[in-house]
Amino acid sequence: MNEPANDPPNGQWEPKAPTKNFTPNSTRSNIPSFFHRIAQLAWARVTETRETIAYVILSFLTAIFCIVLEAMVLKAHSDEANNVWSSEQQVNRPLNIAYAETWLSLTRLQNENIFFITFQIFQTYLGIDSVVRQNLMQIMAHTIIIFFCAIFALVQLGETLKFKANLWSTDMKSHIDTSDAGFLNALKYEIAIAVGTAILTLIFIYLCKKLSQQFGWNIYKRIGADLKMQKRYRLYQLFIMNLKLDAFFELVFSIFWLVAMVQASYQTGNAPSIVWFAIHIILTVVLIPSFFLARYGARTERPLIMWLFLAVQLLELVDFCIILQQSASTWVFWVFVVCVAIILSLSTFVLTILLTKNFGQGLKPHIQRLFDENYKDFFDSARNPNVKPSNTQDSWVIEDIENTPENSRPPTRNATRTGWKWASKGRSKQPAVHDVDVEKTNMQRYETPTQLEEATVQPSTQAPA
């Protein structure tokens, strides 16, 4: 059970870090499992308003729409790659080299399709997590990502048109009619993805605006009107959002490059190649726990952990720069992914330094750990159980009138009709002088102060008995 807080003698209450308290409804014997707690709290946050429900449903529909169509694009590119391979077997040099280049380009396109499908799964998680955690920065980033999905679909459309033109030019030289049915099918699906994601982006922008107001108000009620504290909290949210993007782009990119190094036989090359191959494996393995440690260090304000995370990010940044210099520049998509990983690593480096400077300035009690034993305390997203409310004074009640000094001002006449009747009936029946008893009788007879005043100044028209 939660122990009552003992206020210090000076009357000033200082917030403390969250502790694992057990209420009568959450004793250790009946605490649900971790995944059960996630499901309960996620359901409470998702169904909080119509906007949160619509945002989560739209995130699922967007993922289904993009994954299904992108899988059809992948199938179309695979079929066209088989057609190009058949044409390559029918000609000799140098025409077969042109067909081989087209086949390689289609193979890269298939890798892009797989990456896009994986990214859609990640962005669905990002959108739902932003609603559950009510991360204002993350939900804005998710909306921007949906827009970039439309841009990516247009880039794929341009690449398909380019490779289709290259195949047509090679067929004209070799007098071979290669079927382009795969290209035509891919173009239809890519146009559908571009148009669909563009329309979905507009809907996401509208919902993002609504949820930004809702989340911003919840943050205000949890933290208060301190603008500096709100700025620190948004910086923390931006750092956490950046960590999640790092976990996808940096980790996926590192694994892809590790596979490419194995295919290029770096592990059996010269001494520098073997050393770089070993260092890249170590950095890829260290990268996974470093994100969890960085999140823990930011939540508990541990500077040492944050500096260790900075060292890992610095090594990753050097590794990515070497990969950018070593990788082929003919694959535009690959260069784009490397640049995104470098930009994210740089931004994470800067955000880590800025966040570490905010340690010890009162932000720690406002950082919520949603899925611990006290998870039910966070069902109300506008409440922070780790911080005592600043305004602890009860609302005005009629009993306060009996305890007010004699020279205090009487209740205002702006009271509502219902409020005045409630106030008049709620007065305690204490012995009083005749004038006070007459005043109480008049207050019960007339409903408002105005009626009471009119009855007092109006002469009586009743005949004497």
User: Mind listing the pLDDT tens digit for each residue in 54-71?
Assistant: 999 999 999 999 999 999
Amino acid at 131: V
In whole angstroms, what is the distance from residue 183 CA to residue 161 CA? Answer: 8
289 Cβ contact list (under 8 Å, min separation 6):
none
Joined tokens for residue 129: 């997590």
Task: Give the per-residue pLDDT at 253.
Answer: 82
Task: Give the per-residue pLDDT at 428.
Answer: 47
Task: Give the per-residue pLDDT at 375.
Answer: 45
In whole angstroms, what is the distance from residue 350 CA to residue 368 CA? Answer: 23
268-272: Cβ within 8 A, 24+ apart: none
Task: Give the per-residue pLDDT at 264.
Answer: 73
In whole angstroms, what is the distance from residue 427 CA to residue 440 CA? Answer: 9
**Which regions of the chain are under pLDDT 70?**
1-35, 93-95, 222, 327-331, 366-465
In whole angstroms, what is the distance from residue 156 CA to residue 153 CA? Answer: 5
Residue ranges per domain, the chain?
30-223, 247-387, 399-453
User: Cβ atoms within 10 A of the Cβ of 460, count?
Assistant: 7
Task: Give the per-residue pLDDT at 76.
Answer: 92
In whole angstroms, what is the distance from residue 102 CA to residue 99 CA? Answer: 5
In whole angstroms, what is the distance from residue 322 CA to residue 277 CA? Answer: 12
Task: Give the per-residue pLDDT at 196.
Answer: 93
User: Cβ atoms within 10 A of the Cβ of 1, count?
Assistant: 9
Task: Give the per-residue pLDDT at 401.
Answer: 39
**Contact present, 131 and 124 (Cβ < 8 Å):** no
Task: Give the per-residue pLDDT at 56.
Answer: 93
Task: Give the per-residue pLDDT at 54.
Answer: 93
Cα–Cα separations (whole angstroms), residue 179 to 83, 87, 230: 6, 9, 60
Closest CA to 122 of 248, 240, 292: 248
The sign of the torsion formed by the CA atoms of 387, 292, 55, 250 equals positive
Joined tokens for residue 180: 């382009």
**Contact present, 12 and 390 (Cβ < 8 Å):** no
What burial letters (b/e) apply to 206-245, b meaning 16+ CB within 10 Å?
Answer: ebbeebeebbeebbeebbbeeeebbebbebbbbbbbbbbb
Element (H, E) at 65: helix 50-88
**Contact present, 383 and 218 (Cβ < 8 Å):** no
Reading phi first (left if > 0) and then psi (alpha if -120 to 50, else beta), residue 224 is in: left
Give counts: helices (H), strands (E), the chain. 13, 0
